[in-house]
Each structure stands twice: as structure tokens, then as C-alpha cells.
Structure 1
Amino acid sequence: MEERTRHLMAHLPYLRRYARALAGTSAAGDALVTRALEWYLDQDDEGTASDPTAMRVALYRRLDALQDEEGTPTPGSSHPVEAALGTLPETDRRLYLLVNLEDLAVADAAVVLDLPGAEAVERLSRARETVRTRLAAVILIVEDDAIIAFDHAETVRAMGHIVCGTAATMDEALALAAEHTPTLALMDIRLAEGDNGIEVARELRRQRFLPVIFVTAFPDELAKRGVEYLGPVIPKPFTRDQIEQAITRAVFTPPPEEVREMAPPGL
């Protein structure tokens, strides 16, 4: 039982994230997660206790079933990615979320949704293309290494997004942000002229909410300052897959009202 509980606790943040995307609001998502956990703990079968993936699949299946039992449509959203996903058939939307947001293998996502494997691959390909054609995020790159900045830009453009500019200093970053109103920033910590990406992120946060992904050779610096809430960290050296996955996740950052409630006072 201890192993089962430990795995459940490890899955909880991911279940909440998927349920929020599934139901449309944090409150509705948390209610689904609570019911799914109660259901799972009532099961006599301990077979998935030692298999984290099987446990996730079972819990995602239960979340889907509970959402379907509610019989209520997912609320509309002004968030550009959620709006784009909302144009998909519901099964395709869930498939996209399970693979792109939750990092499930397509085969496991197919099990969650009771789809044949080949059909899941085909539907996911169509869903990704639909989202790409309906959505182009505007991304600011804050990086003083020209080669890394170029690689970021190539990755962003390959995903179908727009690079609004590349900045090597705080002044350049703030000027580009003011001019283009980006929807996301890829941010190094150590910048040119002694500037610091953490301070850039804090100033952008003060002016308006902007999701930030830190890509840095100093991944512990946010934790040392107690500002992990500013954004996720990808340590250098990195892969393009890491950048792509982080960008996909970043667009599901809570809206400004929720983020302000989560941030420490005065920051």
C-alpha cells in the first residue's frame, strides 16, 4: 500500500494538469481528480502499484469517464492554445493533451481513449496539424550566445511559431517585449553586459504576465533565490525535444489571476 500511495502522490500534479485542461477550470479539474483518486483507492486490484505507467493510464481513463458522466461541455477559453484545441473533436483534443501535455506514449494514450494504435497515430497527426495552422505563438528569445539563439529560433519556427526578436541584454529584451507583446519568452540567466535573465523575467512579470522558460547552464540559480515560480528550467546542454515540449507546456500556464495568487507577496 505504501508503494501505491507513493506513486499516486507522484502522479498528482500531472493528473491535476490534465484534469484542468479536460474540464476547463482548476476547480472542476480538482473535483475530477478527487473522485478519480477515491475510485482508485477503492479498487482491490494492486496490479498497477508497481507499474507507474499502468497506474497513470488507469487514472487518466477514469478522469475521462468522470468528465463524460458530467455531461457538460468544456467551457470556452480566450487562451489561444486552448481555443485552438477546442476546435478539435473531443477525442482528438484528449489525445493531443495526453501526448503533448502529459508526455504519454501514443500507444498508452490510445489505451486511455480505447483507440486502435494506428488510428491514434493518424488522429494525432491531424490534430497537431490543425493546432499548428490555427495557432502561432509569438516568442521572444533572450540569449547572448548567437549560436544558441539561432538554434532556439530554428526550433521555434519549425514548430510553426513566430520569433519576435532576439535580445542579449535586459534593455533589448524589454524593448522587444514592449514592441511585440510576445506570448512566451525563452530566457538565459547570464546575459551580456552583466545582465541577469531572472531580473528580466521579474520586470516582465511586474509589467504584465509573460510565461518564461529558462534555458541555462546555471539551473540551480532560481532555487537559490527562491524564485522557482518564475518559470521552468531546462539545463544546458539541452535537446530540441526538451525545448519543444517545454514550449507546448508553457502555453498551459495558469492565467495571470491564478499566477498572482501563487507568487510570494511583493514579487
Structure 2
Amino acid sequence: MSLGQQLAPHLPFLRRYGRALTGSQSEGDQYVRATLEAIVAAPGEFPRDVDPRLGLYRTFQAIWSSTHGDNRVEPAEPGTEHEAIARARLARIAPLSRQALLLTAMEGFTTEDTAYLIDETPAEVEKLVADALSEIDKQTRARVLIIEDEPIIAMDIESIVRDQGHEVTGVAVTRDEAVALAMEDRPGLVLADIQLADDSSGIDAVKDILAEFDVPVIFITAFPERLLTGERPEPTFLITKPFQRATVKAAISQALFFDESTVPA
């Protein structure tokens, strides 16, 4: 099998990486083209002692490092709102940390392979990834309103929220209380149960809040079937009780990562 045939299956993923790294489809694709041109011009210099995919990314990294100076992400091209928000967050992460995060989390390289690609030690790669995740956590700090009428569950959710570094603006047990708290102290995230203390609805409380301002919402409920009918727009984030703390943490991180209001100016 020729080198070109070996590399072909990996090119779409290299384009994905290039676009994420630069924040631009056109610039990312330019780096991929430059990588292929370098391989064609000097096939004997292509790393033959590693897996072809690893050699391909290694060649890309060498070109990127030698031509991109400070490695800053350029202004993003038009794309989906979520893509633009993600690019804005990645742009604020230090260059090597951004590369380490993308290579491990998105491209699936091991710590050792990533160390080879960016000329660092495995221990340094782990530190770089941790720094990148820490920066994302800082960017997505939020003030959270909890709508939950069961005291023990509310305390558990509040503990999860605070453990992630977020602030709790209040805990509401009824629809009216939830709306009043939201209007008094606008939250950046709402965690809501469906069935509330006075038989009012967390769904209605959320509708009232969203009528006043946009805010990401995560429903945590023992009655998911009420929101999963397929007959109307449904929430993006829905957690079923009893829940795992890790599930709630992941949902919070995901909801805030794509929320424009928490992107630093």
C-alpha cells in the first residue's frame, strides 16, 4: 500500500484538528494542504518508525510550529452558534495547552503519542491538559438557581454546584418562588425539577423565566416522560432521578460550555 493510501483515511480527521486549532476552516485546510505538499516534496523525510496517522500529525505539527509564531487562534469564520462559542473558549487557552487538549480529547491520541507530537514529556502533556480544563472551568463559572422541593435532593444538587466552583443564587420550592428569585437575582443556569411543593410545575416556572431572559436549563426529574413526548420542543439537558453526581456535573459543564453569556469578552 502506498503512503498516500495509508494517509487518506486520516485526512478528514486532520482537517478537523486543523480547523479546531486555528478557529478557521480555510486556515485549517491550508495547513493540511501544506502538510500534504511537504510529504509529497520530501517523502523520505516522513516518519516511518511510527504509525502513519501519528507521522501525519507530526508533520502537521512541525509546519504549524514553524510558521504560526504565537499560535493564536484567528477570528472565526461563520459557523453554527455553538461552534463559534467553542472556538472563542479555545482561543483563550494557552497554545500548547490547547493543542494537548485537542489531540487527546478530540483526536483520541494517548498521552505518550501527544507528547511525541508536541515535543513534550507525558507528564507535561497531562499538566497542559489539566491547565486547559481548568481554564475552561474558569470561563464557565456561573450563578445557578435551583428549583427543587425535596430538601435532601436540593442540598445534594447545591453541593454539586458549589463543588464545581459555581455560586447558588437560591433554592426555590414553588413556581412563584422560582420566578421571583430569578427576577431578583438573574442566574446564569437553572436546574429544575418538574413536580414542585404546591403541585405547581417546574416546567411552567422555566417557561416564565425564559419569557423574561435566555438562560440554559437542566431538568432533573423523576418524570422524564413528561418532557420526552416528541410532540414539542424538548430540553437539551434532561437528567433522570435518581441521578449520579458525575452525570449532573457533566451536564452542567456541557450546558455552560456552549452558553454565550459565559464567554469572556
TM-score, scaled to structure 1: 0.60
CA apart distance, 1:242:
0.9
Q: d(CA) in 2 for partners of 1:253 and 1:243?
A: 16
Distance 2:116 2:167 in 1: 33
The residue that corresponds to 1:211 in the other structure is 216
Q: Are 1:157 and 2:159 counterparts?
A: no
1:77-92 paired onto structure 2 within 5 Å: 86-92=91-97
Which residue does 2:202 correspond to in 1? 197
- Amino acid paired to 1:73: V
Deviates more, 1:91-100 or 1:203-212: 91-100
Query: What is the letter of the counterpart of residue 96 of structure 2?
Result: T
Q: Distance in 2 between matches of 1:153 and 1:135?
A: 17
Give distance in 2, aligned partners of 1:86 and 1:141.
31
SS of alignment partner, residue 73 of structure 1? coil
> Aligned-pair distance for 1:112?
11
Which is bigger in relative contact order (C-alpha 8 A, separation at least 6)? 2
Q: CA RMSD in A?
A: 4.5
Separation (CA, whole Å) in 1 of partners of 2:73 and 2:103:
19
Distance of 2:26 and 2:192 partners within structure 1? 31
Identity %: 32
Structure 2: runs of 5+ lacking an equivalent: 1-14, 33-52
State the alpha-carbon separation in 1 of the partners of residues 221 and 113 from structure 2.
32
How many residues align? The count is 211
1:125 deviation in Å?
2.7
> In 1, Cα distance between the equivalents of 2:116 and 2:148?
40
Separation of aligned partners in 2, 1:227 and 1:213: 17
C-alpha separation in 2, matches of 1:97 and 1:185: 29
SS state of the match for residue 251, structure 1? helix
Q: Distance in 1 between matches of 2:19 and 2:150?
A: 37
Q: Which runs of 5+ in 1 are unaligned?
A: 1-14, 37-56, 257-267
Q: Label 1:126 to 1:218 Cα distance change in 2 as closer, same or farther (>3 A).
A: same
* Aligned partner letter, 1:162: E
**Structure-2 residue corresponding to 1:73:** 73
Report the CA distance between 1:141 and its aligned residue. 0.8
Q: Which structure would you say has the larger Rg?
A: 2
Give the structure 2 partner of residue 232 of structure 1: 237
Q: Tell me the amino acid that sits aligned with residue 121 of structure 1.
A: E
The answer on whether the counterparts of 1:91 and 1:113 sit within 8 Å (CA) in structure 2 is no
Q: Aligned equivalents of 2:131 and 2:196: distance in 1?
A: 39
